């Protein structure tokens, strides 16, 4: 069994103690991190080394964005795409070499679309749609068993947000974003493991805003995802989200996801 986790950590240096706790308690074989907010030279390599995550690849930048994949399983760097076409560090891909050999693991941090769902007045919204368009053309050509994970910044289903009608005009759940993400899904026939194992309409939040008292109001959204190629999805044995991390002191606003594969 191989376990793979993904987590938007919202600064890996600030929250390295929480990452260490998560790795000790949950012990995934591979962890994909988004929004690490640091360059490789300042990444806390030593902490991961001590816990046995001796294989690491970091695509970072100072203060913003950035992704990293750490593993107890050997891998090789496989791909690094600039789907936003502006130099931001938002993707890294690896190929597993030990258990699960041949599986490609793509770790992505899709940009948030800003506040106004209109590319004419909000450039960030257009950048998100264009990013997804480039990913869709990439996915259309895939011919390997692939796992695509990360913070997609979009909650696609009506039950993926706390109030569908209230959020229809809110960036992350607008019909245009959902439709654009759907084209990416269809381009490779991706299987959404979050809903494959936790069927709609079961509650399955992965993010709560810092602006609202999340435990009381539970205004969650499912923004983080793990999507698998059809043949790889058939080997997935279980999937869960680790909501308790959102209760830890000074937590990330996202929680980790973990999928188990019979590889």
Please state the CATH superfamily assignment of the domain spanning residues 2-261 in this structure: Endonuclease/exonuclease/phosphatase (3.60.10.10)
Q: Quickly tell me which residue has 């919202």 as its tokens.
A: 10
Band of residue 214 on the pLDDT scale cut at 50, 70, 90: low
Query: What is the model's pLDDT at position 99?
Result: 87
Query: What is the model's pLDDT at position 212?
Result: 72
d(CA 236, CA 185) in angstroms, rounded, equals 18
d(CA 172, CA 176) in angstroms, rounded, equals 10
Q: Which residues pair with 241 in a beta bridge?
A: 257
d(CA 208, CA 231) in angstroms, rounded, equals 32
Per-residue model confidence as pLDDT tens digits over 25-82: 999 999 999 999 999 999 999 999 999 999 999 999 999 999 999 999 999 999 999 9
Band of residue 215 on the pLDDT scale cut at 50, 70, 90: low
- Regarding pTM above 0.75, the answer is yes
Query: What is the model's pLDDT at position 82?
Result: 93
User: Residue 231's CB: how many other CB atoms inside 10 A?
Assistant: 12
d(CA 262, CA 239) in angstroms, rounded, equals 12
Band of residue 95 on the pLDDT scale cut at 50, 70, 90: very high
Query: What is the model's pLDDT at position 216?
Result: 67
Query: What is the model's pLDDT at position 93?
Result: 98
User: Residue 216's CB: how many other CB atoms inside 10 A?
Assistant: 7
Query: What is the model's pLDDT at position 100?
Result: 87
- CA dihedral defined by 151, 81, 232, 153, rounded to 10 degrees? 20
Bridge-based pairing state of the strands 257-261 and 236-241? antiparallel
Task: Examine the pLDDT at 98 and tell me if it is beyond 90.
Answer: no
**Domain range list for the chain:** 2-261
Q: What is the largest CA-CA distance in the chain?
A: 49
Query: What is the model's pLDDT at position 213?
Result: 56
């Amino acid at each position: 069994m191989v376990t793979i986790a993904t987590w938007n950590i919202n600064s890996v240096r600030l929250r390295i103690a929480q990452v260490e706790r998560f790795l000790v308690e949950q012990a995934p074989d591979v962890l994909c991190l988004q929004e690490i907010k640091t360059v490789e030279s300042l990444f806390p390599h030593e902490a991961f080394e001590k816990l046995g995550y001796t294989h690491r690849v970091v695509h970072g930048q100072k203060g913003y964005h950035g992704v990293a994949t750490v593993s107890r399983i050997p891998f090789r760097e496989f791909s690094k795409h600039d789907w936003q076409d502006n130099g931001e560090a938002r993707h890294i891909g690896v190929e597993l070499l030990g258990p699960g050999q041949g599986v490609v693991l793509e770790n992505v941090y899709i940009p948030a679309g800003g506040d106004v769902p209109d590319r004419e007045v909000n450039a960030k919204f257009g950048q998100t749609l264009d990013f997804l368009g480039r990913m869709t053309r990439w996915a259309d050509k895939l011919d390997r068993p692939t796992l695509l994970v990360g913070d997609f910044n979009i909650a696609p289903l009506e039950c993926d947000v706390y109030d569908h009608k209230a959020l229809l005009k809110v960036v992350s759940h607008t019909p245009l974003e959902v439709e654009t993400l759907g084209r990416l899904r269809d381009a490779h026939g991706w299987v959404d493991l979050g809903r494959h194992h936790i069927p709609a309409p079961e509650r399955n939040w992965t993010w709560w805003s810092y602006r609202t008292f999340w435990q009381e109001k539970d205004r969650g959204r499912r923004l983080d995802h793990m999507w698998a190629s059809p043949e790889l999805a058939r080997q997935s044995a279980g999937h869960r989200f680790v909501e308790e991390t959102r209760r830890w002191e000074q937590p990330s606003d996202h929680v980790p996801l973990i999928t188990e594969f019979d590889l």
